[in-house]
Amino acid sequence: MRYAIFDLDGTLVESMIYWRGFEKAFLLENGIKEENIKKLSKEQWIGSDWIEVLCEFFNKEYGFELTPEKFHQWGINFMMRKYAEDVQFKPGAKQLLDKFLSEGVKMCICSSTDRAIMEPLLQRFNLDRYFQFTIHCRQFGMEKNNPEIFMHCMRELGAEKPSEVAVFEDALYSASTAKAAGFYTVAMYDVTEKGEKQLKELADQYVTDYAQLDYSKLPE
C-alpha cells in the first residue's frame, strides 16, 4: 500500500451528523422548541438554492429576518465550533492513519469542506502531519462527481494509475465516482448516508470500524 486519498467528513471523523443537523441546531439556538420544528418537503428543495429556501422557510414559519449570507455565516461558525470541540474520529481512523504514516503511505484529504472551515479540527488533532496536502472541491472548481479531482490527487501523490490508490469515502456518489475511475474503494459506514446498501455492493471493502479492514486486499 503506497497511496491513499481520504474524504474527511463521515470517513475519518464523525461530523456528518452536525452537517446534516445544523438547521435544527440554528432553530434551537434561536428559541424554537423542538416540538415546534417543521421540516421542508422534498418538493420544496427541488431546483432551488438550499440556503435561500431555508431562509425563506424559516422567515415565513418563525418570523425571522434571516438573509442567506447571515445563515451561511452562522453555519460556518457552528461547524467550526463543532470541529474545535466535539467532532471525534470514526472508529479505528486514528490507528489507521498512524499505521499508514509509519509505513510511509502517501496520503491526502479530498473534501467538499473548505480548508478554512475544517482548520480547527486539523489543528486540534494535528492532522496535517499525516497528509501530503489537502484538496477542497470549491477551491479546486469541481465536486467529487467528477473523477478529475481524484485523478489530480493521484498525480500529486505520485501514483501513475488509479489501481495503485485506495480511496476512502462514506458517500455513495463520491465512492461511485472513484470506483468507476478505477480506484480501489474503501467505504466507511455513516449514519447519514442513505445509500448504504448500494455502497456495500459497490465498494471493494465496506467497514464500520477500520479495525475490520483487510490490509492484504489493499493495492500493493
**Whole-angstrom distance, CA of residue 114 vs CA of residue 37:** 29
Confidence (pLDDT) at 22: 82
Q: 178: buried, middle or exposed (CB in 10 Å: 19+, 13-18, 0-12)?
A: buried
Average pLDDT estimate for 96-119: 97
Per 3-state DSSP, what percentage of the chain is helix, strand, and coil (rounded to 5)?
Answer: 50, 15, 35
Confidence (pLDDT) at 48: 53
Confidence (pLDDT) at 181: 98
Confidence (pLDDT) at 202: 97
In this prediction the pTM is 0.92
Give yes or no for residue 119 having a pLDDT over 90: yes
Confidence (pLDDT) at 43: 52
Confidence (pLDDT) at 96: 98
Beta bridge partners of 3: 106, 165
Question: What would the pLDDT profile of 42-73 be if each residue is shown by its tens digit?
Answer: 555 444 577 888 888 899 889 999 999 999 89
Average pLDDT estimate for 165-193: 97
Confidence (pLDDT) at 50: 76
Confidence (pLDDT) at 47: 47
Nearest to 213 by CA among 39, 60, 93: 93
Alpha carbons within 13 A on the beta-carbon side of 185: 23
DSSP class of residue 146?
A: S
In the structure, how many helices (H) and strands (E) does the chain have? 11, 6
- Percentage of the chain modeled with pLDDT above 90: 83
Beta bridge partners of 205: 186
> Of 52-61, 154-163, 175-184, which gets the smallest average pLDDT?
52-61
**Whole-angstrom distance, CA of residue 100 vs CA of residue 213:** 13
Confidence (pLDDT) at 159: 98
* Mean residue pLDDT across the chain: 93
**109 compared with 57, residue with greater pLDDT:** 109
> Of 54-58, 73-77, 84-88, which gets the smallest average pLDDT?
54-58
Judge whether 219 and 2 are in contact, CB under 8 Å. yes
Give yes or no for residue 141 having a pLDDT over 70: yes
Residue 154 Cα distances to 2, 98, 159, 185, 191, angstroms: 11, 21, 5, 13, 28
Average pLDDT estimate for 105-109: 98
Confidence (pLDDT) at 41: 60
